Chain A
Amino acid sequence: MKLNNSVSKDHNSSKLKIHARPVRAFLTLTIGLIAVILFMGISIAVGAADIQLSTVYESLVNFNPDVTQHTIIHELRIPRSIADVLIGAAFAVAGAVMQGMTRNPLADSGLLGINSGAIFMIAVALAFFPEMSYNGTMIFAFVGAFIATALVYGTSSLGKARVTPIRLVLAGAAVSALLTALSQGIAIHFRLSQDLAYWVAGGVAGIKMPQVLSILPWISFALIAAMLVSRSITLISLGDEVASGLGQKTGLIKIIGGIIVLVLAGAAVSVAGPIGFVGLVVPHLVRYIVGVDYRYIIPCSAVVGSLLMLLADIGARMINPPYETPISALFALVGVPFFLYISRKSGRGL
């Protein structure tokens, strides 16, 4: 089954040329992790109230609840920078898994409507169960993500034509439009516009520790699961025949991969809103550095995604203080030229 000529050719030729690059992957991981830790420190220090890095360090080793800066660090800044790391990793790995499994270079949880599905169910939760806990909201977000995915894949695989990247993106745009309209309708009818706007603008301002702790296990488990199936994803990314020829249960792997994507995107959206393009850009970047083996792509995507999210969040606070520029807007401005580049490079096959 040929999904997409130019893309599969791309994959094959890059495979012949590059194979996998374990050394580069190792370097990316090490340098990336060091950078993540460094920027977590900076992210904790930067904000409406400027704090010295030495104070950050001090508050960590020698916490004193009477010092205002220490409480700011513990109550606001630390949860925020942990959230950045978790959410960046979640969106990036979700994108990587999707791109690998569907061999679709344009796959991203925002473009394929998954984020707006999650938002839709969050709107439902806000309207009908206003007292719902973080965990409950997150489960709703998972369900919404699932609804959107089912709609997008269902409609683009109906009919006789093959599932091409452009069909998926178009179906994603339409499903997004529908679910966004429904969310807006609910928001206007129940007078929730303000509450929902918080999610729709996307961002991690005002995140508290309980929220971080509620997404932590979900995202961690999904990331570990993604690592465990990464070898199979590499094989699937070479084509279903190749994969099943090598004894892979492609159907099962795709279901597992689908669940991983839903959990990652749903959890991330439930605290930070629909931040698009992270999942699109990061895996491409990483693939360019480490080659086509998903055993390297997935962990490196997690690290690079975290780093990018930290940087964007720092940028969001620095561009126009004391206001915060929405992160989703920042990513759109970076991600859109990139999207155009990919869609142009992939050319006629789309």
Chain B
Amino acid sequence: MKKSLAEQMQQSTEKRRKRQWAVMITFAVLMIAFIFLSMNTGFSKLAPAEVLNTLFGKGTSRQNLILFEFRLPRIVISMLVGAGLAVSGCILQGVSRNALADPGILGITSGSGLIVVLYLSFYSSTAKAPTLLLPFLALAGGLMVAAIIYVLSYSKKDGLNPNRMVLTGIAVTAAVNGLMIVLMLRLNPNKYDMVASWLAGSIWGSTWKQVLTLLPWVLLLIVFAFLKSRKLDALSLDENIASSLGVNLNRERLYLLLIAVGLAAACVAFTGGIGFVGLIAPHLARRLVGPGHRMLLPASALGGALLLLMADTLGRLVFPATEIHAGIMVAIIGAPYFLYLLSKSKM
């Protein structure tokens, strides 16, 4: 008895859908586990029972302080930033049709970073600096770099060349880093330490006020990205196919790029130079749920949130006294993965 083609297709779609849900649920379970682990770890230890007690309102004031004022906001920030960077990377990879694109490689992160460093150097401490402004400033920096890269890698003859985009990104990053060093040397030692640690990608913005600043940005932009997932599917196909599907290429590409830059910039404003999340999370997600952006975007967001939470937790778990920054942990995981992808790519 032979099944019809339609039946077979339906079956494989069902199979894929089941798989996609399985992936999402696994991510969610892992996330909860790591949230719990993250609440336990840090300079002052909280045992699992203590965490539970505190969560249900029976903690001492010290336990309350540690959990609600330090650990939880930090956990939320790392998850938001991880999700934001991952979705940003996912969009950039789709739009540029370049598997190796990511806000860090393209220099958007360092563009935002430059403005943030400028801004921080005007205020004597981060506490006094009005945090609400940070994402906007970072956005300006990110947009500036994105515009430079777009102009420099666009040519009339062959449009937006993905390879050239990456090379331009690397070069612009080098130039921005040069400027940054010049700026940093004018800072006094205290600020220098703060900025240096910011650049290495630490989750420093971890008060509820900062969470509330970041939250709307990330949520709104991720929802926007999700609404554009069909357009992103079309754009990540061949250019000719996309335009024959009736997508206004240039306009959609611009919208999506704006979303990607906005996400990356807002995240960078709170955590500094965290690279590779935007690269790894979409790749892992694509391998697990397939190339359709309707599932790929949320899976990337979950994967990214999980990744950064893991990195931040492991950094505290392995070296509790010094707290290896999340950015460093992510690079240690991410760079080898990037090299692996590079060795498999055909560019």
* A interface residues with partner B (beta carbon < 8 Å): 106, 111, 151, 155-156, 158-161, 164, 166-167, 169-171, 173-175, 177-178, 180-182, 184-185, 188-189, 191, 193, 197, 201, 276-277, 323, 325-326, 328-333, 335-336, 339-340, 343-344, 348, 350
Contact = CB atoms under 8 A, between A and B. Distances in A.
A247 to B, nearest CB: 33
B118 to A, nearest CB: 15
Nearest to A166: B163
Contacts of A170: 100, 166, 170, 342
Given A181-B332, A188-B200, A329 B342 contact: no
Given A177-B331, A326-B181, A169 B167 contact: yes
Contacts of B181: 201, 326, 328-329
A331 B197 CA distance: 24
Contact of B178 (A175, A323, A329, A348): A329
Contacts of B172: 336
Contacts of B152: 340, 344
B342 A155 contact: yes
Interface of B: 100, 104-105, 152, 158, 161, 163-164, 166-168, 170-172, 174-175, 177-179, 181-182, 185-186, 193, 196-197, 200, 275-276, 319, 322, 324-325, 327-328, 331-332, 334-336, 338-340, 342-347
A174 B339 contact: yes
Q: Is the interface of B mostly helix, strand, loop or mixed?
A: helix
B110 to A, nearest CB: 12
Contacts of A155: 339-340, 342-343
A126 to B, nearest CB: 16
A335 B177 CA distance: 13
A171 B172 CA distance: 17
Contacts of A336: 171-172, 174-175, 178
Given A164-B347, A170-B166, A177 B276 contact: yes
Given A155-B342, A174-B338, A326 B182 contact: yes
A323 B186 CA distance: 8
A277 B171 CA distance: 10
Nearest to A185: B328
A192 to B, nearest CB: 11
Contacts of B339: 151, 155, 171, 174-175
Question: Shortest 9 CB-CB distances between A and B: which pairs?
Answer: A332-B178, A178-B335, A181-B331, A329-B178, A158-B343, A336-B175, A155-B339, A159-B343, A174-B338
A308 to B, nearest CB: 16
Contact of B164 (A185, A277, A350): A350
B182 A329 contact: yes
B196 A156 contact: no
9 contacts: A160-B346, A170-B342, A174-B339, A177-B275, A178-B336, A326-B181, A331-B178, A340-B152, A343-B167
